Amino acid sequence: MAGPQQQVLPLGQSQVSDIYANWMSMPLMREYYGGSNFFNVGLWAEGTASQAEASLRLMDRLLALLPENPARVLDVACGLGGTTRYLAERLPSASITAVDVNAGPLAAAREAAPGNGFARVNATALAFQPDSFDAIVSVEAAFHFNTRAEFVRQAFRALRPGGRLVLSDMLFGPQIKLWRLGVPVANDVASLEDYAGLYRQAGFEIVELADVAAESWQVFVPAMRSYVAAKRAAGELAAMLAGAVDNLMTADLAHYAVLAARKP
Ligand SMILES: C[S@@+](CC[C@H](N)C(=O)[O-])C[C@H]1O[C@@H](n2cnc3c(N)ncnc32)[C@H](O)[C@@H]1O
């Protein structure tokens, strides 16, 4: 039993990773995402009917920021492969490589988007030759990287001149709480302007930086909450898990950034 002198030890990076991978593969979550293999908050508009549709809209927004007809695209933190499959379908003549640090989701991604290159790689150790890609895409994951700044430097190196880094990313406020476990302190940024500075410091020019929190996180949270409440009411979800999801939804999200940065 927890006593006053017992300490709550911080979870290690690999434990956080395992918990993440478990969440992603939970049938409940797979069902919420409608079998789309996405695992992100998506981009919602009036009439967006499902999470899978919102996740597709987010990809449409990012695709529009890619350079024209990229021949070589890297999908960093591909998760279950929904993003990779989308890129492969929309860019049929491109060679797509996808990486993730988690073996479980990566195996699902291989199945979801066969014919593309997959590797278990940490986003902060992108051991690709310089100028290997025309575009690097990363959907809703850079806040996890230890550190985001190191990833941005490595992405810059791996891109060709004129190539683009296109991503969506979450910026948390001081009340980050539970999400702190999966977000290194080094990734805290005080403002969207400081966030842009991170990319400029690595050598990038900012092509676009928008805060879409009102169309993403702020619509996703009530959607996820009502899904979980319905599952709980139907007796399909244990109270503890429902509580855990609810806790995650209280994260202090300051900005949801959509960014396109160009290597000069
Ligand atoms: C919110 S999910 C997004 C997955 C996918 N991009 C999507 O939109 O469906 C975040 C992903 O980041 C991955 N991830 C976290 N830290 C990572 C790292 N250091 N290197 C590579 N992938 C990482 C996780 O394994 C997870 O698949």
Q: For the domain that residue 71 is a member of, what is the CATH number?
A: 3.40.50.150
Q: Is residue 136 part of a domain?
A: yes
Looking at residue 263, its pLDDT comes to: 98
How far, in Å, are 24, 79, 136 from residue 99 at the CA level?
16, 8, 11
Pocket of ligand 1 (CB under 6 A): 20, 38-40, 77-79, 82-83, 100-102, 105, 122-124, 139-141, 144-145
**What is the rounded distance in angstroms from the CA atom of residue 67 to the CA atom of residue 17?**
32
Residue-number span of the structural domain to which 115 is assigned: 13-262
Mean pLDDT, 10 residues at a time, the chain of 264 residues: 41 70 88 96 97 98 96 98 98 97 93 97 94 98 96 98 98 85 91 97 98 97 92 87 82 95 98
Centre of ligand 1 to C-alpha 3, Å, is 35
The number of distinct structural domains making up the chain is 1
**What is the rounded distance in angstroms from the CA atom of residue 112 to the CA atom of residue 135?**
21
Nearest alpha carbon, ligand 1 atom 27: 79
Q: Which residues neighbour 180 within 8 Å (Cβ) at sequence distance 6 or greater?
A: none
Structure tokens at 113: 């988007």
Nearest ligand 1 atom to the CA of 124 is 19
| Dihedrals phi, psi of 75, to nearest 5 degrees | -105, 105
Q: Is residue 2 part of a domain?
A: no
**What is the rounded distance in angstroms from the CA atom of residue 221 to the CA atom of residue 108?**
25
* DSSP conformation class of 116: S
Single-letter amino acid code for the residue at 12? G
Centre of ligand 1 to C-alpha 24, Å, is 10
Identify the burial level of 77 via C-beta atoms within 10 angstroms of its C-beta, where 0-12 means exposed, 13-18 middle and 19 or more buried.
buried
pTM (predicted TM-score): 0.94
Question: For the sheet containing 95-100, what is the strand order?
Answer: 117-120, 95-100, 72-76, 133-139, 159-172, 253-262, 205-211
Looking at residue 115, its pLDDT comes to: 96
| Dihedrals phi, psi of 161, to nearest 5 degrees | -55, 135
Looking at residue 237, its pLDDT comes to: 83
Q: Is residue 171 part of a domain?
A: yes
As a whole number of angstroms, the longest Cα–Cα distance in the chain is 60
Looking at residue 217, its pLDDT comes to: 96
Q: Is residue 8 part of a domain?
A: no
Asked if residues 237 and 231 have their Cβ atoms less than 8 Å apart, the reply is yes
Q: Is residue 126 part of a domain?
A: yes
Looking at residue 6, its pLDDT comes to: 41
Range 35-72 burial, b when 16+ CB lie within 10 A, else e:
ebbbbbbbbbeeebeebbbbbbbbbebbeebbbeebeb
Q: Is residue 101 part of a domain?
A: yes
Q: Is residue 189 part of a domain?
A: yes
Instruction: Indicate the top mutation candidate among 43, 102, 151, 187 to test ligand 1's pocket, ranked by most ligand atoms within 8 A of CB.
Output: 102
Q: Is residue 48 part of a domain?
A: yes
